[in-house]
Structure 1
Amino acid sequence: MTADGRHYFTALGEGRYAPTEHVQGAWSPDEQHVAPVIGLLLHALEHEHPREDLQWARLGVDILGFIRREEMQVTTRVLRPGRTIELLEASVEIGGRDAVRLTAWRLMSSDTAAVAGQEHAQMPAPSELEPWHGMDHWDGGFIASLDFRSVPGSRAGRGRTWVRTDVALVGGRDDEQASALASWVGLLDTANGTAGREAPHDWLFPNVDLTLHLHRVPEGPWVGLDTRVSWGPTGIGQTASVVHDEQGPVGTLVQALTLRPAG
């Protein structure tokens, strides 16, 4: 937990969590932003099914409906156990209804440094950039809890942005300290808002999913999002990002969007 005690979720025990004001969503004051919920689901998997010999390779999130800002029940299970490969699932239930589901592959760790490489371009470091207030048009306690930096030249539909938070993912219980990775993952869903093609008071463009593929373990606290947003002519869009930490690219992120005029 942070020194000032702020956190996104209060752990109540037995898989129950209470959201704080810092998770308030951008589209409605009564909803939770899905970003910290995703981090919480990964935390639950790490807490309930620890495996230091395996590392996360893909996180697939489905947003099943409105995420009410109410007490949640988180459940986890191993879908495909294995010595070198596992598939796990975590889900959030609110008021007797599933709200968010995460499936995650984790794979064996080994030494492949001799052949390591990737083809994505670097981003300027966040320390080289000034604080960015381009997200101030978004409502909600979650966006207000974040610190943003933007690379000059970003525009609607194309942005390069860094984001971090000083709010802890989980508080309330000493035995539920979230990992740096879970906290990092809890920032990824901001990608869709950093380079929207239209202003959110004119158009609604919520994502219904999020898929992250990693080629190495990221190190926080900064999440870098090299993002491109495409909107099609029949109501469907896509936000696609190369995801970075301060050492460079770590993977890719894609979100499917549903588009509609506001009002």
Structure 2
Amino acid sequence: MAYFERVGDMAYRATDEVGGAWDTATQHIAPALGLLAHVVERDRDVRRTDGLIVGRLSYDILGTIPIDVMDVRVRVVRPGRTVELVEAALGHGGRDAVLLRAWLMRPGDTAAIGGTAYPKITPVDDMEPWDPSSIWPGGFIASAEVRRQQVEPGRASFWVRTPVLLIDDEDVSPLARAAGLFDIANGMTVRADPKEVAFPNVDLTAHLFTTPRGDWLGFDTTVTFGPTGIGLTSSVLHDEHGPIGTLAQLLTVRPN
């Protein structure tokens, strides 16, 4: 099983595994974000061999995407020897649906001064399994394995992994696989019943100080609704070794 199949050098077909949560006839955006991260890394590896690593992935979500063939493109916005800014886009039918800007940075040895004040979350083996399809429909949510420690509505820590490949018959980095799960954060600890309040995100930005390792991706997540129709889902990201970065999603909050 895979979320996407390559059908051309810069074209991919979505499978039914990407079925959305707000609308099962369109794609859940999460796998598409992983696909664009893969496109950026693939372009980097063609252009250079010095091992720049991704420090930021910033996505703007321009609209819904049908479960169909999508085109991608990538360009270097700001070239550099040690730092570069790369832009990628995913579209369908001549319309862009997702834009990504990624900062790629030269790695270095900072282990001697490394550290963070972000606390670790409960280990994955000590969290109870939770079925997200009890709240959300769609192929993508059904493909996710989740373990969750709920604090209150809109506040939880949880671990997520999936057995589904990001792209059929293609090597994908741990970062791209993790990026394909980032967007699940907005639905794993809801502040309001999604049948009564819609709260899709219009963007997603991940800042990473460590490249993800392993199959499980952890989240320490808080969902906030403001008084004027705008919300924020903010998370600290983890792998099984500890915190690796932060994640933010801007929400449009729409009571039915």
TM surpasses 0.5: yes
Q: Aligned in 2, Cα 1:180/1:96: closer, same or farther, shift over 3 Å?
A: same
Contact residue 206 and residue 259 of structure 1 kept, 8 A: yes
* 1:101 pairs with 2:96: no
Contact residue 213 and residue 252 of structure 1 kept, 8 A: yes
| Identity rate, percent | 49
Match of 2:166, as an amino acid? L
How far apart in 1 are the matches of 2:64 and 2:51?
A: 36
- Equivalent residue in structure 1 for 2:186, among 192, 204, 208: 192
**SS of equivalent to 1:49:** helix
Q: Tell me what 2:151 maps to.
A: 154
Match of 1:88, as an amino acid? V
Query: 5 Å matches for 1:54-93?
Result: 54-93=52-91
How far apart in 1 are the matches of 2:55 and 2:44?
A: 16
Contact residue 132 and residue 141 of structure 2 kept, 8 A: no
**SS of equivalent to 1:254:** strand
**SS of equivalent to 2:186:** helix
**SS of equivalent to 1:75:** strand
Structure 2: which 5+ residue stretches go unaligned? none
Give deviations 1:103-146, integer Å, cap 9, x for gaps.
00011101011100101011111122221124421010000000
Q: Tell me what 1:3 maps to.
A: none
Structure 1: which 5+ residue stretches go unaligned? 1-5
* 1:261 pairs with 2:244: no
Q: Tell me what 2:237 maps to.
A: 243
**Root mean square deviation, CA, Å:** 1.1
Match of 1:118, as an amino acid? T
What is the TM-score of this pair, normalised by structure 1?
0.93
Give deviations 1:186-235, integer Å, cap 9, x for gaps.
00101100112101111100000000001111113111110011101110
* 1:33 pairs with 2:24: no
Runs of 4+ more than 3 Å apart: none
* 1:15 pairs with 2:13: no
- Equivalent residue in structure 1 for 2:205, among 211, 230, 241: 211
Match of 1:117, as an amino acid? G
